[in-house]
Structure 1
C-alpha cells in the first residue's frame, strides 16, 4: 500500500488557519451515493482537523438545479461530470483552484492536465474517467457485437432484450457515433438524423435504464445493454460471461470531476479535501471498489494486476482514452437536445 501525506503547501495553510475557523466552517460535499469510501470523511477529519459532511445527489441534473437555485451556497465541493463542471464555471459557480493547495495533483497522469473541458485543471480535478460501450452476455449473444448498429439495429435474437441509457447525452450518443457525427453536435440536421434512428430503435428495446441494466444482464432479462464501463464491471463481477466492448465507431470520454463552489467560505479547506482524495491509497480505493479507472497514476500503478485481468477495461491507457471525444457543455444547444430526447422517449 502506497502512503503519502498532505504536501507542504497544504500543511502550511492548515497551520496558519485556526482550528476554530475550521470548526465554524465545516465543508459540505455533494457526491453520488457509494462513490467514495464510507470512512473517507472521518479519516480526512482525523488527518487534517477539518470537519466535513456529505450529501448525496442522484444525477448531475439534480445537483445542478440545487446549485443554480442557491448560487452554490451551502456547498463547498461538488462531484459532477466534466460537462456540468464546465457549465458551472461558465455560470460563475465553480471557483478557480489554487494548485499550491493541491500538491497531490502531481500523482495524476500527464494526460489528465489535457482534458478539453478544462485544460490545465483551472477549476476542476478529475476523480474518475472512462468510456461507454456495449455490455453483453457472451453465452447468449453468439456473435460478439462490434458496432453501435448492433444495438441500434439489433438482430432478431436480441430484439426486446436490449437497453439504452436514459440520460440525454448517452441516449443520443450511439446514433450520433454510428452516423459519424460529433457527440457534441448541435446541428439540427444531424440531431434530426439521430432522432429518426433512435425512434426506430426504441421499438426494439426492453427499456431505457441508467441504474439496473447490469442486473438485467445477470438475471438474463437483457442480453445486451449500453453501459458505462465501470457499471458493466459490476455485471462481470457476478457473471464472468458478461463482456464489455467499445464499438468500432468509438465512444465518448466521460470524466467525473471535483469542483469547489465559488460561494464556498472555506476554499482552502475544500482544496485540502481534494488533495486528500488524490492520495494514492485513497484514490486507489475507487478503482478497487467502484471498478472505474481513475486518472491517478500512482493509484493505478498500485492495482493488483489480477484486477485488470478480471476487468480488462480497467487497463485502458490514458492515451487510448484521450483518443475519444470528451463530452462538453452544449450551452444553448442543450435545449435542442432535451426537446429531441423527449420526442424520442415519448414516441410510439
Structure 2
C-alpha cells in the first residue's frame, strides 16, 4: 500500500464560461444548470479499427504499465490486444488537466468533478456513446448520468471510481468518539491546534454541507450551489475554523505522518489514508459523520478534437473492465466503478472496506462538482459563486 500514487490534489482555477460557444457546430446545444448552454458536439456513431495510439491525461496511479511496480500493469495487455500504444501524461492538478485538454493534443482524460463541468461547458470534451462501450452496462447505476458527468441525460464520460471524504480521529486522544462534523468546527474544541483539513477551495463545500444540515434557515440545498449569503456563511465558518487548524493537508503521506506523530488528532481524510495510518501502527478510526460528507468520483472523458477516437473508446472500455478496474481501485485506494470488479480484487474485503456496492452509503455523499455562477441546484433567480470566487475566498480563509 505504501507504493500507492495519490496525487488527486485540487488546485484553484478560474472557471471561464465566456468561451462556451466555441468548440462545436451551430446546430444547437444542450442546456445545463440555469439554462447554460453546452456546445453541440457529435458523439462517435460507430467503433472502427484502432489508430495505433492514444494520448491520455491522468492522475498518477491510473495508467500503470509495470514501470512503478512490475506486478501492477493494466496497460501492456491493452496495447497488445488493441494495437493502441498508450502515451500517458500525469497531471498534478485539475487545472493542469483542463489546460492540457484545451491544447487538443490529448484524446482522453480522467477528470475529477471540479474539472469535468469546465471541460463540458468549454466544449473540450464530447458526449460519449455508451452503446460502444461494452463494460458500461456493469458500472454501478449510482455513478451513471450524474451532475458532474452528464447534461440533459447525455453521458460525457464513463465513471472510474469513487470515495468519500471522511472524519478521522486518534482513538487514544479524542474522547468521546466523534459522530458529527461539529468536532472540527466547534470553536471551543479541546483539540485546537491538532485539527487538520483538506487544503483546497473545494473544501468550502464541506463547510456548506455542515451548514446545510445544522443551519436550515440558510436554505442550502446543494453545497456546490451557494448564493452570496450562503457562501459568506461558509467562509465565515472556515475562517473561524482556521483558528483551530494545526495544518492543512493535500499530500496524503503528510497526513499519515501527522496522525502517527500525534501532531494531528482529528480531521478530514480518505479511507485509504486511514488504512495506511493504521498499517503504520497509529490508533485511528474514520467515520462517515451524521451529516454525510463530500466525496469524489472521477470520469474518463474523450476530447472533442480527438485524433484517435477508436483507441480512445477502446481505452475507456478497457479501464472500466472488471480486471483493470479492480487493479486500479486497489492500487489507488478507492471503490471501483464496475460492480464485477469486486470479485477480482486481491483483497477480498476491498469492496466492503470502500463501500463499493453500498448505495445507501453513497447516497449520503455529495460528490465534488464544479461551482458555477449558474446555480447547479437549478435556481435561476440568484447568481451563485463560481469556482473563481471559491479560489479567492480560500486564500483569505487561510490568511
- The reply to whether TM is greater than 0.5 is yes
SS of the aligned residue for 2:81 comes to helix
Give the stretch that moved more between structures: 255-264 or 226-235. 226-235
Residue aligning to 1:179? 211
Q: How does 1:147-166 map to 2 (within 5 A)?
A: 147-153=180-186, 156-166=189-199
CA contact (8 A) 2:224 2:371 kept: yes
The match for 1:232 among 270, 274, 290 is: 274
- Between the aligned partners of 2:260 and 2:192, the Cα distance in structure 1 is 17
Residue aligning to 2:392? 339
- Between the aligned partners of 1:30 and 1:231, the Cα distance in structure 2 is 24
Per the TM alignment, residue 283 of structure 1 is displaced from its structure 2 partner at its CA by 0.6
Please list every run of 5 or more consecutive structure 1 residues that lacks an aligned counterpart in the other structure.
1-11
Matched, 1:31 2:58: yes
In 2 relative to 1, CA 249–284 (structure 1 residues): closer, same or farther, beyond 3 Å? Answer: same
The match for 2:229 among 172, 184, 189 is: 189
CA contact (8 A) 2:325 2:337 kept: no
Residue aligning to 1:275? 317
Matched, 1:125 2:158: yes
Per the TM alignment, residue 13 of structure 1 is displaced from its structure 2 partner at its CA by 4.3
- Between the aligned partners of 2:120 and 2:341, the Cα distance in structure 1 is 28
Matched, 1:66 2:106: no
Per the TM alignment, residue 278 of structure 1 is displaced from its structure 2 partner at its CA by 1.4
The match for 1:249 among 272, 275, 291 is: 291
Matched, 1:47 2:81: yes
Residue aligning to 1:297? 339
In 2 relative to 1, CA 316–206 (structure 1 residues): closer, same or farther, beyond 3 Å? Answer: farther
SS of the aligned residue for 2:245 comes to coil
Residue aligning to 2:300? 258
Per the TM alignment, residue 308 of structure 1 is displaced from its structure 2 partner at its CA by 4.3
Per the TM alignment, residue 205 of structure 1 is displaced from its structure 2 partner at its CA by 0.9
Per the TM alignment, residue 252 of structure 1 is displaced from its structure 2 partner at its CA by 1.9
CA contact (8 A) 1:292 1:314 kept: no
- Between the aligned partners of 2:154 and 2:340, the Cα distance in structure 1 is 18
- Between the aligned partners of 1:167 and 1:121, the Cα distance in structure 2 is 29
Deviations 1:162-214 (A, max 9, x none): 111111112x1232122113311221111111111211111111111111223
Higher strand share: 2
Residue aligning to 1:318? 359
- Between the aligned partners of 2:272 and 2:62, the Cα distance in structure 1 is 12
- Between the aligned partners of 1:31 and 1:305, the Cα distance in structure 2 is 25
SS of the aligned residue for 1:40 comes to coil
CA contact (8 A) 1:85 1:124 kept: no
Matched, 1:96 2:130: no
Give the stretch that moved more between structures: 148-157 or 244-253. 148-157
The match for 2:243 among 203, 208, 232 is: 203
- Between the aligned partners of 1:315 and 1:125, the Cα distance in structure 2 is 16
- Between the aligned partners of 1:245 and 1:55, the Cα distance in structure 2 is 34
Per the TM alignment, residue 94 of structure 1 is displaced from its structure 2 partner at its CA by 0.7
- Between the aligned partners of 2:311 and 2:321, the Cα distance in structure 1 is 16
SS of the aligned residue for 1:206 comes to strand
Give the stretch that moved more between structures: 125-134 or 317-326. 317-326
- Between the aligned partners of 2:200 and 2:174, the Cα distance in structure 1 is 25
| TM-score for the superposition, normalised by structure 1 | 0.85
Residue aligning to 1:7? none
SS of the aligned residue for 2:336 comes to coil
- Between the aligned partners of 1:107 and 1:91, the Cα distance in structure 2 is 29
The match for 1:134 among 138, 143, 167 is: 167
- Between the aligned partners of 2:199 and 2:249, the Cα distance in structure 1 is 6
Per the TM alignment, residue 80 of structure 1 is displaced from its structure 2 partner at its CA by 1.2
SS of the aligned residue for 1:46 comes to helix
SS of the aligned residue for 1:252 comes to strand
Give the stretch that moved more between structures: 228-237 or 266-275. 228-237
Per the TM alignment, residue 91 of structure 1 is displaced from its structure 2 partner at its CA by 0.8
Residue aligning to 1:115? 146
In 2 relative to 1, CA 304–319 (structure 1 residues): closer, same or farther, beyond 3 Å? Answer: farther
SS of the aligned residue for 1:275 comes to helix
- Between the aligned partners of 1:62 and 1:163, the Cα distance in structure 2 is 26
